[in-house]
Amino acid sequence: MVNGNIFHCRKHSWPAEDFVGRTALQLLDFDGGSPPEQAWRRRLNSHANLLKEFSVTFMEAMRMMSLGLRLWSYVREEASHGRKAPIDPFTKERCKPSASQGVPLGGMGSGSISRGFRGEFKNWHIIPGLCESSPVMENQFSIFVSRDGGNKKYSSVLAPGHHEGLKKNSDSGISSWDWNLSGQHSTYHALFPRAWTVYDGEPDPDLKISCRQISPFIPHDYKDSSLPTSVFVYTLVNTGRDRAKVSLLMTWANSIGGFSHNSGGHYNEPFITAKDNPPVTFAVAACETQNVNVTVLPVFGLSGENHVSAKEMWNIMKQNGQFDQENFSAGSSMPSSPGQKLCAAVSASTWVEPHGRCTVVFGLSWSSPKVKFQKGCTYNRRYTQFYGTSERSAINLVHDALTKYKLWEEEIEKWQNPILKDERLPEWYKFTLFNELYFLVAGGTVWTDGQAPAIDEKASPGLNQQKPSKKGTKDTKSQSVQENHANLTAEQVPDGGYMSSSEDRSVSKFAAVHGSQMQEQTSEFKSEEPIPYLISKDGPEHVGKFLYLEGVEYIMWNTYDVHFYASFALLDLFPKIELSVQRDFANAVLYEDRRRVKFLADGTSGIRKVKGAVPHDLGTHDPWHEMNAYNIHDTSKWKDLNPKFVLQIYRDFAATGDMSFGRDVWPAVCAAMDYMDQFDRDGDGLIENDGFPDQTYDAWTVHGISAYCGCLWLAALQAAATMAHRLGDRHFAEKYKLKFIKAKAVYEAKLWNGSYFNYDSGTSSNSRSIQADQLAGQWYTASSGLPPLFDEQKIKSALQKIFEFNVMKVKGGRMGAVNGMTPKGKVDDTCMQSREIWTGVTYAVAANMLLHGMEHQGFTTAEGIFIAGWSEEGYGYWFQTPEGWTTDGHYRSLIYMRPLAIWAIQYALSPPKAILEAPKVNLMDRIHISPQVVRAINDISIRKIAPDNRCFPSSAFQCEC
């Protein structure tokens, strides 16, 4: 743990005064309108440069040609079935990625909408696994100001008029709007889950405007953090000599991005909520108060056919500053025709006296209660437990958001302030720590209610081919989760359960419009009878089921080798979700799915899920039922997944002190450990890699004993032995301790070279490379409060070597830690991954340094990711942090899970109470190995033989040739 008094002190590099005038900040410091002292900042006139994607070298392309051909064929095959392949490098987005992202909207798992720092609504992730990146330019906030009896007027969309998305829609009608904002005096300030946009005298020189965006992301709140809603609070300050009539306008298109608006069948209608009223898909609203008058235009079109046109709507606002009050009595619009886009508008008008202030509040919500995956299963989202399953619950959602947002902000500030006010921490770290959490909203997250799904049997054949293990170690526990549960239909879910009887919906009047997209009925769904164990019921944590993507370009749910790095965020902020995810994988270890799969790297085939092996992921198009969507390699032969499972289980067990969790998952831990015996070829207790990329670095070949997998295995042996001791399983405690002692001696003898651990024990040209991630096992060991795997001197020597070579020899430490570096100080160019800088791995290495008292090295290492990814001089990867980039800044896989590992740094700085207060006793010393265990282990070692070249064991329990 970190004991230093000074971490990496540095004066503020981005003071708010450099972006907003001091006077404006003081004036806006009313009702939360002034941006915080620490935040990520940009001027609205900043250029959003296009991002550059990585490319492979000629030699890399030649080596991967066969894989590329098989992958191309697989992508086409999936497309023929109307599905998107989990990995598809051949299909490019219509909207080229640019440095324009900002804080996303909404809570977790209910579909997300991102909002760029210049105000555009983009990256629509409503449909699971599909992200529509193009902005919907009709979705805007605008302002109309009238002074001096109407003789002086200002009007503008509150977004820069030079946006590239506007040019593409120049004939849509919105080009007739006033795009007068230059952005020169307007700035954006991000501190997830909030963001501030300050307009310092534009478009009206005598009006200061702040828009505060708030979403319900509240640690340890498993209700409100699931809600699909956001609030926009406008603070207006009139610095002029005359009163000003200010009208704010929110326009919204009935679309979820892409071409969805062209499908037809969309309709809009107005609503006023006081008590309960029928809900719909989208709801945009404004809070009407004594000083704020709200009016609506339920529908307008772009072309003007059958509806008021966008141009006519704008002119009404310029002339009157509001819409007709009679619009509230209008019914639903006629459904749109194919190719026609419907929009709605909400206006909030107020008078602001000279030197006066006023607050105007808008709300947005979207209700997509059901999650349907492409191979048949449909689930209810988490928030439906509180709001019912009607698509029309958006009205209640937006109402509650407008009444509760102040409470949300109080909870957010309670959470963030201790870190923000810690003067020992560098400024960049404080706001980057929070801003990297964007992924838990924008990373394709799905959060269900935990009930069994409705299943389309035609689309989901072979579900019953998944079988519980009847062999293996201590498997009886898994049988208890095979109960059958019928599906709760929409009619069975209690509606109206979104608010307690003590709450009153008539707090104030909310006027708004909402829209619905009528979907075509494609299949009849019914309750499933016996269903696989994973979805039988909610777990003991009672928080439903949780999924998030590896990345928006790698569409696999809960990719486990990456979750190994990212999971620190969930453990710290939503520990019940973290335990629920681990239970899913614990159950998965004990099951198999014998459906055949072709592996693209070598063209061989095997079964989808092997008993005893930890799955790479929970699937893509049918998660929980069809795991291991990743099919590049046969991950049942990977060497890191099982050790990572054991390490995560023990860390969570130690951090939460949850003995029930430990007992429940212990059978899976035993099975996962025993499964790895097959990879110890010579009986020395240490696993060997097999000459292909059999770990998370899936393009980087490993031979023999490897620093990465070997260290993970050593850590897993110690963690398993300690956990066995704590649970009273004496036999396994002795067994794993003895293996640990043997394996540790071999590991150090084969890999330690005096200053670091070699990449592997092979004879290839890169076997002596310095791998940044070589001490991943020690990182988890220290994070779990376990004794160090090696002498502290060796650990610090290796970390210092990584710092001096992998970090500081790449652009002076301003890029992060490159994965591989030769002893001569040149980047290891063995493959594309050895020469990449992985953002999440860099954060993990930094956390490891901090855990071992290397504060300067740790923060300098992590700061490289900030400089290259988030700073003004960087490459523009804010709120879309990629898996990695090359030394020239070219990215691979935007919006990626692993950078959540920055929370491992915070974990190192502030360990969980259960670990801090644990007895400072080496439990390994309390495990006394009996002679019987020694004889048993030695007997196994003697009987170890070289595997038959014709056969590779497909599991710990059987072998198929």
Q: Are 152 and 170 in contact (CB under 8 A)?
A: no
pLDDT tens, residue by residue, 183-202: 999 999 999 999 999 999 99
- Distance separating alpha carbons of residues 485 and 523, to the nearest angstrom: 22
pLDDT tens, residue by residue, 275-311: 333 234 889 999 999 999 999 999 998 876 777 899 9
Q: What is the 3-state secondary structure (H, E, C) of 10-52?
A: CCCCCCHHHCCCHHHHHHHCCCCCCCCCCCEEEECCCCCCECC
- Distance separating alpha carbons of residues 770 and 777, to the nearest angstrom: 16
Residue 267 main-chain phi, psi, to 5 deg: -145, 155
Q: Are 289 and 508 in contact (CB under 8 A)?
A: yes
Three-class DSSP category at 851: helix
Residue 10 has pLDDT above 50, yes or no: no
Which residues, 6 or more positions from 718, have their beta carbon under 8 angstroms from its beta carbon?
736, 737, 740, 781, 786, 787, 789, 924
Burial bucket for residue 876 (CB in 10 Å: 0-12, 13-18, 19+)? buried
Classified by CATH at the fold level, domain 538-943 comes out as Glycosyltransferase (1.50.10)
In the prediction, which pLDDT does 304 show?
66
| pTM of the model as a whole | 0.88
- Distance separating alpha carbons of residues 143 and 422, to the nearest angstrom: 38
Residue 524 has pLDDT above 60, yes or no: no
Q: How far is CA 188 from CA 14, 35, 207, 426, in A?
A: 12, 9, 17, 21
Residue 817 main-chain phi, psi, to 5 deg: -100, 120
pLDDT tens, residue by residue, 455-491: 665 555 544 444 444 443 333 333 322 222 222 222 2
CB atoms closer than 10 angstroms to residue 812: 10
Model confidence band, residue 537 (pLDDT cutoffs 50, 70, 90): low
Sequence letter at residue 941 = S
- Distance separating alpha carbons of residues 850 and 216, to the nearest angstrom: 31
- Distance separating alpha carbons of residues 820 and 23, to the nearest angstrom: 50
Burial bucket for residue 263 (CB in 10 Å: 0-12, 13-18, 19+)? middle
CA dihedral 861, 866, 869, 874 (to 10 degrees): -100
Q: Are 773 and 819 in contact (CB under 8 A)?
A: yes
Question: Locate tokens 């996303």: which residue?
Answer: 104
The structural domains of the chain, with segments of one domain joined by +, span 16-51+97-442, 538-943
In the prediction, which pLDDT does 515 show?
56
Give the chain's end-to-end CA distance (angstroms, integer): 49
Name the E strands within 680-834: 689-690, 703-704, 770-771, 820-821
By residue count, the chain amounts to 961
DSSP lists the bridge partners of residue 125 as 112
Sequence letter at residue 401 = A
pLDDT tens, residue by residue, 847-866: 999 999 999 999 999 999 99
Q: Are 810 and 835 in contact (CB under 8 A)?
A: no
**Crossing angle, helix 730-751 and helix 659-675, to 10 degrees?**
50
Residue 144 main-chain phi, psi, to 5 deg: -135, 125
